[in-house]
Chain A
Amino acid sequence: MNLPEPRGPLSAAVIASLRGGTPPEAVAVDEQVPVLSDEDAQLALWVLFELHFRGFDDVAGDREWDPALLRLRGNLEARMEAELREATRPALHAAPDSGDLAEDLFALVAADHGPSLASYLHRHATREQVLEFLAQRSVYALKESDAHSFVLGRLDGPVKAALAEIQYDEYGGGRPERLHSTLYADALRAAGLDDTYGAYLPQAHVETLAANNAQAVFGLRRRLRGAAMGLMAAFEATSSLPCRRIAAGIERVGLPAATAAYFHEHVEADAVHEQVAVRDVCAGLVAREPRLRADVLFGVAASLHLDALVGGRMLARWGAAPQVADGRRSA
């Protein structure tokens, strides 16, 4: 993909720097504006992180490790982490501490009452709204699970084996046509949408960008490996039931079976992944490194918080009443 259009002075400075091969121009940052709701900052972060994933056709490869860009990104990441810690403080304060981390994590997820995008998609969404949802989700789903793979090299023993097991399934179990990102591209094409990587980045809401960026904020930083795995586990643990509803919604509005197939696959896959992620990865990690417990819980709460923002934005945009919380997450 090529560099996107900027959405403000910060993303403009980053994009100009990447395009021109020049150092980024200093931009006065208003630190009173939260990074989490600043689409200019989130697009700048997304573009900077993308250098570590597929990159851009119009950017020289070595800019991935440009010290000035890394410094700029580090500042945004620090602010985003601080905002997420602040936003999740109440949920974490109320989180159970039973001595059984797996049960505590499932309880934290079950206690969440964020808006349910899946319930709306299931029963009420128009065909156009379902297509809009699919386009938003593509920003993540075409690079599905990739941020978590960065964590593999930071783990060891049974925890590494458990994460590898999840990733192997996400990556199609040896069958490239079953890569989840490929299944999503198939789903987009069948729905008449563009399956090109990054095609819907220009339409991505700030909440969509923030949820996607959080995976990289945690996944690319060894210190935050506990949060990365908590985020991944919460994502898996809020997927099976919602994906069943989304698949039913896709079928209700008459979109093709290949579009629903991606979500049907996730009903079954994520019922497995949530158990492995919560019990073997998260609880396993904390058993080896007890001081990571707080960060694992933080990752779970951050995922729930970001998902509520993503769902809330779309439901508000459609004028939909908040849906009764069910299995929560959009997928």
Chain B
Amino acid sequence: MRLCPGGPLLVRGADVVRDEAGVAHAVTRPVVAVCACGKTGRPPWCDGTHKVVRRG
């Protein structure tokens, strides 16, 4: 697991990611990017919105 500065949390080797409400989301990629800015439109996954937030 690794936090990208200003970006998402990269998670490798997980089967499931649980969001803050405890809902389980199946992992279907070798590595996933979990939103760390709280602004994503596709929680819990990063959708690149942090770039707009950071710039704005």
A residues sitting closer than 8 Å to B (CB atoms) are 103, 106, 110, 165, 168-169, 173, 240-241, 244, 267-272, 274-276, 279, 327
Contact = CB atoms under 8 A, between A and B. Distances in A.
Interface of B: 4-5, 7-8, 10, 28-33, 41-42, 45-49, 51-52, 55
Contacts of A269: 29
Contact of B8 (A103, A241, A271): A271
Contacts of A275: 4, 7-8, 10, 33
Nearest to B32: A272
Contacts of B48: 240-241, 244, 267, 270-271, 274, 327
A327 B30 contact: no
A311 to B, nearest CB: 18
A166 to B, nearest CB: 9
A173 B42 CA distance: 21
Given A169-B29, A275-B10, A276-B10, A268 B52 contact: no
Contacts of B46: 240, 268, 271-272
Contacts of B33: 271-272, 275
B50 to A, nearest CB: 9
**Main secondary structure on A side of the interface with B:** helix
Contacts of A272: 8, 10, 29, 31-33, 46
Contacts of A106: 51
Contacts of A165: 30-31
A241 B30 contact: no
A276 B31 contact: yes
A169 B45 CA distance: 15
Given A244-B47, A244-B48, A272-B32, 15 more contacts: A169-B31, A173-B28, A240-B46, A241-B47, A241-B52, A267-B48, A268-B45, A268-B47, A271-B8, A271-B47, A272-B8, A272-B33, A275-B10, A275-B33, A276-B10
A173 B29 contact: yes
Contacts of B5: 103
B8 to A, nearest CB: 7
A276 B45 CA distance: 15
Q: Top 5 A-B pairs ranked by shortest CB distance?
A: A240-B48, A271-B46, A272-B33, A241-B48, A271-B33
Nearest to A169: B29
Counting chain A CB atoms within 10 Å of each CB, the highest count among B30, B32, B42, B48 belongs to B48
A15 to B, nearest CB: 41
Contacts of B47: 240-241, 244, 267-268, 271
A214 B32 CA distance: 29
A327 B51 contact: yes
7 contacts: A110-B55, A165-B31, A169-B29, A241-B48, A267-B47, A275-B8, A276-B31
A121 B30 CA distance: 31
Contact of B30 (A103, A110, A168, A244): A168
A240 B8 CA distance: 13
Nearest to B33: A272
Nearest to B41: A244
A254 B30 CA distance: 33
B31 A241 contact: no
Nearest to A241: B48
Given A269-B29, A271-B33, A279 B49 contact: no
A202 to B, nearest CB: 34
A33 B44 CA distance: 50
A6 to B, nearest CB: 41
